[in-house]
């Protein structure tokens, strides 16, 4: 479903974020991307939701090229992808409900569907009781669940998670992983970039390791193996 | 589409009230800019309006020798009237001139006394000529001088008028030039300050913009609330500035200087109120919207 062909990203002359990446991710896969800071994990993920464009190479999403995708089509493409980050990127002046509803509002969904869908999704991630709370009143784990709810609201084909468990205690991390695995089980592709050895080993899914912008290993049933 | 506009409008109002300090700062900067620019222009134009009034009171007086008959003078009047640059020729008989003179100097007993001593009317009949345009007096004078009536003319008091005219012209031009320059500089400063204020307010919301992008909002949708805000700022600022200018003319001018006529400035302001308002709203909106659009470009790139 996602295919990288000879993808390179060069920021400045000597700064090669990614070099000659060749990858293929199938629908329904759960993929962990591991590597040191600066290995290129975030850059790789950003290319999928077109926050960055590669310097060279081709990226296919559902057989469509992301390189030649028109600028005006990018928002539509992004609705196919749910994004989750270490810093949650929640709007702290909106309630839990509003944070999720916002994602539907900006895409022009009718009010009726928003009122129906948002509580459902919040129930799935376990925040059904917290709809009127503000993000600051939630724990880190709960905030990330809220971010996941927002990412899921468009029923995306792919969830892209960039260090979702950074700065989180092990119990909360494990809950987030469980949630991601559950989402994956329901058919959504999950791409997870992380430093967290426990998470990767526990998931026991495909592991891609990056080193200095290159793919160093790609195991279908991998372990965290970054030294 | 309607839904999008409704939502963005709601969103604009909400964010304006949530970022109340930034909203206030932007609003204040806009009001002050519009206010000062307008004050400078209103002052400039009303002063030059007053000056034009003064110019209007200028005239060339052509005095006739004592033995000229009234009919001859009326002939000359008809003749001068034919000149295209002449707006009006007024006949003042020497009797009338004496009346006027006496009236003007009624308080000066010395002058009245000496008049009585002379016994007869020492004044000349005259034609007072007004031109359409202050610049045309020279031409009119030479027209008069070269006319068939010059034999009967004893004096043309142009020299004094000429000086006054050119001095007035100079003053008016200088005031206009200074006013326009100061107004121009103020406008530039205002544009820069407004732009920066709006940039700061957008910077404060870059996270919100980033989230909107991530959840797949189109660039148009992201821009709309900011454009609405720009519109709102422009409109409210313009109305406020208009009110402030009104109050300034009404209360500040009499306080600062007695020699400026409030009526003159107020008349100018009121008679131009729609055009001033239109320019202000236009300027306010253009400043608000353009600054928003330019400031947002950075956050909307791929």
* Spatial CA neighbour of A30 closest among A226, A200, A209, A225: A200
The three-point CA angle A45-B200-B188 to 5° equals 130
B221 at the A interface (CB within 8 A)?
Answer: yes
Whole-angstrom Cα distance, residue A90 to residue A87?
8
Give the mean pLDDT of chain A: 92
Burial class (CB in 10 A: 0-12, 13-18, 19+), B101: middle
pLDDT of residue A215: 93
- Say whether both B282 and B180 belong to one domain: yes
Q: Are B155 and B65 in contact (CB under 8 A)?
A: no
- Chain B residue nearest residue A83, CA to CA: B214
Q: Are residues B19 and B97 in the same domain?
A: no
Q: Do A75 and B211 touch (CB under 8 A)?
A: no
What is the dihedral sign for C-alpha B24, B27, B31, B37?
A: positive
CB pairs under 8 A between A and B: 54
Could you tell me if B215 lies within 8 Å of chain A, comparing CB atoms? yes
Q: Are residues B173 and B268 in the same domain?
A: yes
Domain end marker among B123, B158, B193: B158
pLDDT given for residue A32 in this prediction: 95
Question: pLDDT tens digits, chain B, 302 residues: what are they?
Answer: 677 777 777 777 777 777 777 778 778 877 887 887 787 777 777 776 666 666 666 788 888 888 888 888 888 888 888 888 888 888 888 888 888 888 887 777 787 788 778 877 778 888 888 888 777 777 888 888 888 887 888 888 776 666 776 777 777 778 778 878 887 887 787 778 777 877 887 887 888 888 888 888 888 888 887 778 777 878 888 888 888 888 887 787 677 666 566 677 777 778 888 888 888 888 778 877 788 888 888 887 75
Do residue B67 and residue B113 come from a single domain? yes
Chain A contacts of B213, Cβ < 8 Å?
A: 75, 78
pLDDT at position A81 is: 94
Residue A224 corresponds to which tokens in the numbers above? 């965290």
Same domain as B223, residue B82: no
Query: Which residues in chain B have their CB less than 8 angstroms from residue A77's CB?
Result: 216
Euclidean distance between CA atoms A153 and A116, whole angstroms = 11
Which DSSP string corresponds to A99-122? HHHHHHHTTT--HHHHHHHHHHHH
Tens of pLDDT, residue by residue over A25-42, are 999 999 999 998 888 999
The answer to whether the beta carbons of residues A154 and A122 sit under 8 Å apart is no
- Rounded Cα–Cα distance for residues B148 and B75 (Å): 10
Residues B142 and B282 occupy one common structural domain: no
- Residue B117 structure tokens: 């001593």
Å between B217 CA and nearest CA of chain A: 5
Residue A3 β-bridge partners: A24, A60
Mutate to test the interface with B, among A48, A86, A106, A135 (most CBs of B within 10 A): A106
What's the confidence (pLDDT) of residue B89?
Answer: 86
pLDDT given for residue A179 in this prediction: 94
Specify whether B253 is located in the same domain as B203. Answer: yes
Q: What is the pLDDT of residue B261?
A: 65
Alpha-carbon distance of B73 to B79, in angstroms, equals 10
Record: contact A49-B218, CB cut-off 8 A: no
Distance of CA A73 to the CA centre of its chain: 20
Given the structure tokens 């090669």, which residue do they identify? A16
**Quick one: B185 and B37 in the same domain?**
yes
Q: What is the pLDDT of residue A28?
A: 95
Does residue A90 sit in helix, strand or coil? coil
CATH of A26-52+75-219, one of 3.20.20.140, 3.40.50.10490, 3.40.50.300, 3.40.30.10: 3.40.50.300
B33 and B97, same domain (yes or no): no
Q: What is the DSSP letter of B85?
A: T
Nearest to A89 among B210, B217, B221 (CB): B210
Residue ranges per structural domain of chain A: 26-52+75-219
Q: Residue A128's pLDDT is what?
A: 93
CA distance A79 to chain B (A): 5
Enclosing domain of residue B32: 2-54+167-300
Q: Which residues of chain A have pLDDT under 50?
A: none
Reported pTM: 0.68
Interface test with B, best of A75, A85, A99, A111 (most B CBs within 10 A): A75
B105 and B50 belong to one structural domain: no
Measured between CB atoms, does B217 come within 8 Å of chain A? Answer: yes
Sheet holding A56-61, edge to edge: A16-25, A2-10, A56-61, A64-65
- Within this chain, do residues B13 and B149 fall inside the same structural domain, yes or no? no
Which CA distances in Å does A31 have to B8, B150, B196? 38, 109, 44
Residues B147 and B288 in one domain: no
Q: Is A101 exposed, middle or buried (0-12, 13-18, 19+ CB in 10 A)?
A: buried
* Confidence (pLDDT) at B50: 66
- Residues from chain A that touch B215, judged by Cβ atoms under 8 A, are 78-79, 102-103, 106-107, 150, 154
Residues of A in contact with B18 (CB under 8 A): 93
């Amino acid at each position: 479903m996602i295919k990288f062909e000879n993808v390179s990203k060069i920021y400045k002359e000597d700064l090669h974020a990614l070099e000659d990446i060749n990858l293929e991710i199938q629908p329904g896969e759960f993929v962990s991307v591991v590597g040191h800071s600066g290995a290129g994990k975030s850059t790789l993920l950003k290319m999928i939701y077109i926050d960055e464009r590669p310097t060279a190479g081709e990226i296919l999403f559902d057989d469509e090229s992301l390189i030649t995708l028109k600028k005006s089509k990018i928002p539509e493409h992004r609705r196919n992808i749910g994004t989750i980050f270490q810093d949650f990127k929640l709007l702290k002046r909106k309630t839990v409900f509003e944070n999720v509803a916002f994602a539907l509002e900006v895409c022009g969904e009718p009010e009726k569907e928003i009122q129906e869908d948002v509580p459902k999704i919040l129930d799935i991630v376990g925040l059904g009781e917290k709809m009127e709370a503000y993000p600051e009143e939630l724990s880190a784990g709960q905030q990330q669940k809220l971010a996941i709810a927002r990412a899921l609201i468009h029923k995306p084909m792919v969830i892209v998670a960039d260090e979702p468990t950074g700065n989180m205690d092990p119990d909360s991390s494990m809950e987030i992983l469980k949630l991601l695995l559950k989402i994956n089980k329901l058919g959504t592709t999950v791409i997870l970039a992380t430093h967290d050895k426990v998470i990767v080993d526990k998931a026991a899914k495909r592991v891609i390791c990056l080193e200095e912008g290159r793919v160093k290993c790609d195991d279908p049933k991998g372990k965290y193996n970054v030294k | 589409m309607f839904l999008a506009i409704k939502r963005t409008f709601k969103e604009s109002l909400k964010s304006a009230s949530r970022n109340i300090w930034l909203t206030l700062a932007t609003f204040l900067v806009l009001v002050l800019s519009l206010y000062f620019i307008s004050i400078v222009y209103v002052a400039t134009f009303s002063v030059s309006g007053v000056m034009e009034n003064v110019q209007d009171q200028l005239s060339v007086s052509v005095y006739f020798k004592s033995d000229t008959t009234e009919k001859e003078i009326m002939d000359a009047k008809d003749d001068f009237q034919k000149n295209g640059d002449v707006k009006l020729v007024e006949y003042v008989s020497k009797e009338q001139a004496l009346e006027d003179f006496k009236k003007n100097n009624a308080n000066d007993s010395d002058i009245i006394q000496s008049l009585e001593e002379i016994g007869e009317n020492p004044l000349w009949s005259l034609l007072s000529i007004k031109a359409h345009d202050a610049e045309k007096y020279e031409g009119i004078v030479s027209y008069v001088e070269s006319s068939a009536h010059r034999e009967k003319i004893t004096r043309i008091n142009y020299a004094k008028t000429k000086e006054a005219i050119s001095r007035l012209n100079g003053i008016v031009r200088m005031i206009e030039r200074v006013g326009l320059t100061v107004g121009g500089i103020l406008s530039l400063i205002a544009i820069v300050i407004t732009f920066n204020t709006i940039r700061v307010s957008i910077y404060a919301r870059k996270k919100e913009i980033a989230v909107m992008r991530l959840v797949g909002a189109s660039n148009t949708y992201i821009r709309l609330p900011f454009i609405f805000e720009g519109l709102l700022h422009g409109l409210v600022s313009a109305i406020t500035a208009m009110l402030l200018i009104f109050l300034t003319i009404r209360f500040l001018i009499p306080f600062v200087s007695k020699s400026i006529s409030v009526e003159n400035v107020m008349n100018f302001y009121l008679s131009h109120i729609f055009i001033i308002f239109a320019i202000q709203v236009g300027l306010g909106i253009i400043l608000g919207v353009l600054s928003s659009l330019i400031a947002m470009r950075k956050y909307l790139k791929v």
